[in-house]
């Protein structure tokens, strides 16, 4: 989630009040209205007390002013009077200038343009605050921590971090917030309201800043760049989290296991591992997830939606991370490098598995046969050998497999797909391993060498067969006569003697 823009921190009404205080000007039209009110709104006359010919004092708070009109406006705060009503939406205001400023929301009028970037604003005070973005001026410093702000409203809101004050509670769940704008955004979680819609793809968002960040997916804009390594991001919060990688700052620590994280959201997500909480549930199948992004990716399994398309080959993916990993096939990028042997990988998980090879760490042991593995997923997969479980079934022929990757490879038999093509001769293959073996025909490479006699082979299976010559091992035995063979193909040929089968008939 991106950081809210500075000028959007306060809600609409408080912004207008700050605008009016900052401008400190009353229109002649309002003064005329106040004079009329002095004749009609007599209920405030008992509250005002005139001390002399030039001073009026509020009996509620004791404040004095030289203008009775100013006192009339202030007194509306005490009595709750809002005499100026918007004809468009019915919202009421204490001051006419507030009303006039509000009306510009409906008319779209923004008469104050910025000379630096051309952006326009409804009030002059909004423009003044905006210009400070260009000038870098931050005239409101915090006396507690020294941090400075563009506007007094931002400083007031920031001070609540030090005081712990959260004066805006949610009536639905009781959660409290520092500002009314944060409460308004939170309420949309309960109401489900998403008022900001992308004109490109129709996706809706609860916050305008979320929509702005989303639009950069379509435009490709990444305006936030790391000064250390040059990496760019679409939202400022992602850059801030990235910067902590360089500083090695991890200020958020888990009280359960001691793991540290560079941002609070990562810690909160991690804590769900300990609590077992999975608050995001699929309405289609009831499966629950710890992260909303995981639920969104899962939902696309039901809908079949693959919104992320590769511009190079046209292949589509359910999530952006899958697309990013896929793009490395085209670019050849392998950003994850082993510090011990220099081997590189396209995804971090592969590097993590590889790293366990060096220290020979295999913490996951099979209780059936004692075999150990360097990651839990390998053990789980191995256990299917003992249980006989084959959870991945072909919908075409009913054949089942221990691994999903084996099913994907098998499906190519039915589809005829051969995605791996030799650049030398044009032959295509259904598996990348088959292509790699084939390429050795062109290169003459024979990487598998016999330690006994030095003979080399292009495939490990050929080396394994060859080694049986030295060991005398013949694992394939005929059930009819007991004769043994080095490889299964020799046994199959031998069996035809007993069956009388002649596989090659003369035509």
* 269 vs 278: CA distance, rounded Å: 10
DSSP string over 404-439 = HHHHHHHHHHHH----EE-TTT--EESSHHHHHHHH
Domain-embedded: residue 116? yes
Domain-embedded: residue 168? no
At 68 the pLDDT is: 55
Which letter, b or e, does each residue of 450-485 get, where b requires 16 or more Cβ atoms within 10 Å of its Cβ?
Answer: eeeeeeebbeeebbebbeeeeeeeeebeeeeeeeeb
What's the total number of domains in the chain? Answer: 1
Domain-embedded: residue 208? no
Phi/psi of residue 27, nearest 5 degrees: -75, 155
For CA atoms 201, 206, 210, 212, the dihedral sign is positive
Domain-embedded: residue 457? no
| 8 A C-beta contact, residue 150 and residue 135 | no
Q: How far apart are the first and last CA of the chain?
A: 73
Residue 48's nearest CA partner among 76, 80, 82, 20 is 76
Question: Per residue, what are the HEC states of 150-170?
Answer: CCHHHHHHHHHHHHCCCCEEC
| 8 A C-beta contact, residue 153 and residue 9 | yes
Domain span holding position 74:
6-23+34-151
Domain-embedded: residue 142? yes
What percentage of the chain exceeds 70 in pLDDT? 83
Domain-embedded: residue 162? no
| Burial bucket for residue 59 (CB in 10 Å: 0-12, 13-18, 19+) | exposed
* 126 vs 111: CA distance, rounded Å: 11
Given the DSSP bridges, would you call strands 392-393 and 400-401 parallel, antiparallel or unpaired? Answer: antiparallel
One pLDDT digit (tens) per residue for the chain, 507 residues: 444 343 333 344 444 444 444 444 333 334 444 343 443 343 444 444 444 445 555 655 555 555 555 666 666 666 778 888 999 899 898 888 888 989 988 998 999 999 988 889 888 888 988 898 889 899 999 998 988 988 888 898 899 889 989 999 999 888 898 888 889 888 888 888 888 898 888 888 888 888 888 888 888 788 888 888 888 888 888 888 788 777 777 788 888 887 888 778 888 888 888 888 888 888 888 888 888 888 888 888 888 888 888 888 888 888 888 888 888 888 888 888 887 788 888 888 788 777 767 766 678 889 989 888 877 778 888 888 888 888 888 888 988 888 877 888 888 888 888 878 888 888 888 887 788 888 888 888 888 888 889 888 888 888 888 888 888 888 889 999 999 888 888 888 898 888 887 765 565
| 8 A C-beta contact, residue 239 and residue 224 | yes
Which residue is listed with tokens 């005829």? 416
Which letter, b or e, does each residue of 23-53 get, where b requires 16 or more Cβ atoms within 10 Å of its Cβ?
Answer: eeebeeebeebbeebeeebeebeeebeeeee
For CA atoms 192, 194, 290, 174, the dihedral sign is negative
Taking the CB of residue 151, how many other CB atoms lie within 10 A of it?
24
Residue 139's nearest CA partner among 157, 152, 130, 158 is 152
List, as own/partner pairs, every contact residues 21-25 make where C-beta atoms lie below 8 angstroms and the sequence separation is at least 24, other chains included: 22/125, 22/128, 23/123, 23/124, 23/125, 25/97
Phi/psi of residue 121, nearest 5 degrees: -135, 160
Domain-embedded: residue 243? no
Phi/psi of residue 176, nearest 5 degrees: -110, 155
Domain-embedded: residue 238? no
* CATH number of 83's domain: 3.30.160.60
pLDDT tens digits, 356-409 = 677 666 788 899 898 888 777 788 888 888 888 888 888 889 888 888 778 888
* 112 vs 320: CA distance, rounded Å: 40
3-state helix, strand, coil in the chain (%, to 5): 45, 15, 45
């Amino acid at each position: 989630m991106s950081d809210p823009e500075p000028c959007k921190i306060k809600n609409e009404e408080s912004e207008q009040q700050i605008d009016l205080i900052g401008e400190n000007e009353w229109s002649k039209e309002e003064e005329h209205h106040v004079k009329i009110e002095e004749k009609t709104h007599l209920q405030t006359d008992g509250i005002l007390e005139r001390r002399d010919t030039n001073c009026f004092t509020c009996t509620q708070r004791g404040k004095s002013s030289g203008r009775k009109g100013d006192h009339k406006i202030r007194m509306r705060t005490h009595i709750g009077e809002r005499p100026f009503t918007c004809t468009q939406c019915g919202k009421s205001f204490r001051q006419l200038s507030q009303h006039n400023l509000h009306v510009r929301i409906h008319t779209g009028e923004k008469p104050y343009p910025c000379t630096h970037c051309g952006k326009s604003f409804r009030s002059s005070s909004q423009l003044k605050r905006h210009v400070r973005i260009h000038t870098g001026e931050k005239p409101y410093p915090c006396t507690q921590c020294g941090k400075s702000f563009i506007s007094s409203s931002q400083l007031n809101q920031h001070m609540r971090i030090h005081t712990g004050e959260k004066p805006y509670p949610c009536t639905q769940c009781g959660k409290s917030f520092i500002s009314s704008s944060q409460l308004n955004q939170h309420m949309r979680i309960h109401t489900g309201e998403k008022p900001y819609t992308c004109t490109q793809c129709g996706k809706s968002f609860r916050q305008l800043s979320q929509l702005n960040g989303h639009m950069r997916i379509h435009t490709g804009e990444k305006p936030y760049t790391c000064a250390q390594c040059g990496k760019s991001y679409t939202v400022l919060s992602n850059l801030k989290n990235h910067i902590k990688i360089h500083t090695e700052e991890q200020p958020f620590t888990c009280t359960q296991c001691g793991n540290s994280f560079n941002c609070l959201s990562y810690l909160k997500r991690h804590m769900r591992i300990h609590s077992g909480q999975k608050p995001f549930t699929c309405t289609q199948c009831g499966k629950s997830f710890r992260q909303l992004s995981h639920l969104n990716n899962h939902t696309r399994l039901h809908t079949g939606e693959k919104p992320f398309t590769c511009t190079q080959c046209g292949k589509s993916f359910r999530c952006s991370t899958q697309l990013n990993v896929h793009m490395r096939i085209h670019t050849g990028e392998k950003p994850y490098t082993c510090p011990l042997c220099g081997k590189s990988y396209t995804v971090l998980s592969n590097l993590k598995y590889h790293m366990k090879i060096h220290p020979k760490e295999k913490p996951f042991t099979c209780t059936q046969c004692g075999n150990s593995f360097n990651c839990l997923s390998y053990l789980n997969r191995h256990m299917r050998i003992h249980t006989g479980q084959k959870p991945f079934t072909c919908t075409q022929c009913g054949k089942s497999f221990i691994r999903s990757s084996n099913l994907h490879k098998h499906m190519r038999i039915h589809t005829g797909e051969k995605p791996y093509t030799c650049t030398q001769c044009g032959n295509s293959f259904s598996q990348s391993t088959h292509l790699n073996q084939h390429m050795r025909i062109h290169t003459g490479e024979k990487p598998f060498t016999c330690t006994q006699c030095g003979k080399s082979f292009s495939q490990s299976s050929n080396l394994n067969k060859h080694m049986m010559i030295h060991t005398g091992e013949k694992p394939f035995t005929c059930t009819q006569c007991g004769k043994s063979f080095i490889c299964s193909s020799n046994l199959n040929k031998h069996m035809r003697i007993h069956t009388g089968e002649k596989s090659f008939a003369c035509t």
